[in-house]
Every structure is written in structure tokens, then in C-alpha cells.
Amino acid sequence: MRTKYFHQPKNIQSFKQDLLLWSQQYDDVVWLDSNNHKDLYSKYDAVLAVDAFTSIKTDFFDAFERLKDYQTSTQDWIFGYLTYDLKNTTESLKSENFDGLEFPDLYFFQPKKLFLFKDNQVEIQCMRMVDDEIEEDLKFIENKEILNEIEKSQKSDKLKIKLRIHKDDYHEKANKMLAHIHRGDIYEANFCQEFYAEDSEINPLETFKKLNDISKPPFASFLKFEDKYLMSASPERYIQKDGNTVISQPIKGTAKRSENKEEDIQLAKDLAKDPKERSENIMIVDLVRNDLSHTAAKGTVLVKELCKVYSFLQVHQMISTIQSHVKEEIHPVDIIKTTFPMGSMTGAPKISAMKIIEELEETKRGLYSGSVGYFTPKGDFDFNVIIRSILYNSTKKYVSYSVGSAITAKSDPLKEYEECLVKAKAMREVLEN
């Protein structure tokens, strides 16, 4: 059981920043922020979970079954992540590429303290054992002097970013991907590349703030798990369950923004009509429909929104929304198991695309193109897609971010490479200061 408190901060934005700084004393932190995007489906404006009471950490072997047991036994809020490499537990696949980050394949925890933001109010839910700490916590959060000292104590290096795949190699690999498409092995695949820095230290929270300020996306997340960090400015929802309704919102199709208003409007219009971008999106919509059908009641899978263009601070994106209604007996973890990894980060057909991706990419994806999110005590959930994100192992002093684009029969390797650079721009700016 959890005790509930309600707190009305004088300034909600300032309280958010102070709360996030306060949270850094814990080894287990998940922060999810909508940046005030009034999303049709979201329950909260922001959520913070800290301080593990129980947790599950595992490699890919039997990972979804272990998560199912954990979620069933806690019947409480649990927060955590799924790495892309959980594909190896659902299919006969492997991940043998270089891994500089070394995140466990799956991690979830049951937080002692939970902060739920909605409009100008914060609902605090805490376990009985920490009831008497909440008043002191709020005083600490409002103590600017202590918070300033914490902020000053952290440092960042100026980073030298390296490429795991250089331009000529990218061109060669993209052409190999196209050869697979022309042979009929696949229709589309998301091909990704890593940018990284070794022997480097960053201030994770400051890095997250800068990245979030540049993009202000609807599915931003900050995750701290012991010495490992995620700083994500994701614009994409992977999947959400609310009662018996499930939605997935894949993004496929990207165009840059322009400071010239007329040109910017035109870029969005061009994206909406672009046959290559639309075909990318529609292929993934078909894949998601098929994935959702595994747990849906008959005849309930439908496309609510097809190829709609949304504008973010950095880019225009084409988003579709697919909905289903699940049968009563379906376990919530099974909905994730039968749809993971998300189609927007794999390709079609999914298994063939994942095999070819593994051959051509140079880096184990790990948490990149995985997901962060939560389950509620009732078994509802909401998870994002880990893109536009920086990952950091503070013990190894290894910093990484990856970007990708969808290769289809109509792809031009040079344009795909340029699209990757557009997507990488915000991360590079933040890290190179």
C-alpha cells in the first residue's frame, strides 16, 4: 500500500528542475517528461520514480517471463527499461556487435517514492516505510543553497566525438542493404550507426537539461541505474495500454526545420506528400497492425491516424497511430513481448530485417532503440522509443549516441546519411558544447 500526498508548488517548472536534482542522491531514478505537449493519450505531464524497494535485472534469456512474474508479484508501480537485444529471447537471434556501454538487457524497479505531475499539482505516492521522510524531502527540494552545491560538484569534459561507421563505409553498407531489398529479402530496414567518446566524463543531469531544452519532445526521459545513465529527447511513443485499449505510434519520415516560416511550412507539406516517406510509414503501420493482432480481440485493430506530420523544435516527423482492444485474459507483459522490438526501429519483415541489421551494423544497440516506461498497479503501461538519446557508463567513461534511418527501395545512401546527421545534430551540439 502507498500513502498519497498532494503538493502544489509555487512554480511547477522550477519544482521539476529542483526535484530532478534532488533525485540524484539515489541509485535508481526514472524521470519521464511530456514537456507540456498536450498528448491525447498521456495520463501525466511528468513522472519521477526513485529509490528501489525491489528490482529485477536480467539478461535476455527468458526475460519477458521473468518480467511477467515480477509485475504479477508486485502488483505495484514498476519503472524500467527494455533493451533492443530482448529480440534474442523472442526469436532465434543474436547480438554479437561491440558494446561499449554494457547495460543489462532488462531492468525494472519498484520505487519507494513516486511523483506524478498533472497540471499544477503533484501527487506524491510513497511506501509506508518512507512516509516520515516526505516532509523533509520537500524542504530539501526547496533549499536552493544545498541544490546549488550539488550542481557545482558535477563536471563535464569537452568531448571528442568519433564515428563507428565513416561516410564511405556507410555508403557501402547502405548499398548492401539495398541489395537485400532488391533481392526481396526485406522491404525496409532501419540502419543505425554509433557516435561515441572514450575516456570522457559528463554531467548527466546537465547534459539531459541541455538536450531537452534543444528539442522539448513529448517523451523525454532521464534514467539513472547505478553507474549507467540515459538522457533521452525522444519524440516517439512505442506502446501504451489504458484499460483494454492499446495504442502504438510509430514515427517514420523526417524533414528538417527552417527558420524561414514559409519555407518551414513548405518542408512540412513536402514531407506529408513525399512518396518514399509515406511508403516507409505505411510499411511499418502494416507491421504494427500485425504485431497488435496477436493479443487483440477479433476485428479491433484499426488505424486511428495515418502519416500525420507533427512539428518538433528540430525536425518535422510523420506519425501514425494504431489501436487495438485486448482480450481480458491477456497479460500486459505479453502485449509488449509480441510487439517488441518496435517496428519503427527494425523493418519489414521484422525477423529478416533484424538479422540483416545485425550483420551490417557495427555496434550492439542495447538501450538505443529499446524503451523506457512503467507499469501501473492495474497493469496499464506507457513506453517510449529510445531515439535522440545519449547513453553513458560513468565507470567506463564511455559516452554514446546512435542514429538511424529507414532504407527502402527508393533510398539514396547519400540522403540517408544526411538524414542521420540531421538527427544527430542536437546530441553533438550538447556534447561538444
The residues that are catalytic are 236, 252
217 preceded by a cis bond (ω within 30 of 0): no
> Environment class of residue 160 by beta-carbon count within 10 Å: exposed (0-12), middle (13-18) or buried (19+)?
exposed
CA atoms of 380 and 331, how far apart (whole Å): 10
Q: Which amino acid is present at 6?
A: F
Q: How many CB atoms lie within 10 A of CB 336?
A: 25
Taking each continuous run of H as one helix and of E as one strand, the counts in the chain are: 12, 20
Place of cell 484499426: 302
Q: Per DSSP, what are the bridge partners of residue 272? A: none
For residue 46, the SS3 value is strand
Instruction: State whether the Cα torsion 238-171-411-264 is positive or negative.
Output: positive
Q: Which letter does DSSP use for residue 91 in this model?
A: S
> Environment class of residue 371 by beta-carbon count within 10 Å: exposed (0-12), middle (13-18) or buried (19+)?
buried
Q: Are strands 162-163 and 398-408 parallel, antiparallel or unpaired?
A: unpaired
What is the full DSSP assignment across 212-257?
HHHH--TEEEEEEETTEEEEEEE--EEEEEETTEEEE--EEEEEE-
Residue partners of 384: CB distance under 8 A and separation at least 6: 32, 219, 221, 232, 234, 236, 237, 238, 371, 372, 373
Identify each DSSP E strand in 144-300 by its residue range.
162-163, 188-197, 219-225, 228-234, 237-242, 245-248, 251-256
Place of cell 525477423: 351
- Helix/strand/coil (H, E, C) string of 358-380? HHHCCECCCCCCCEEEEECCCCC
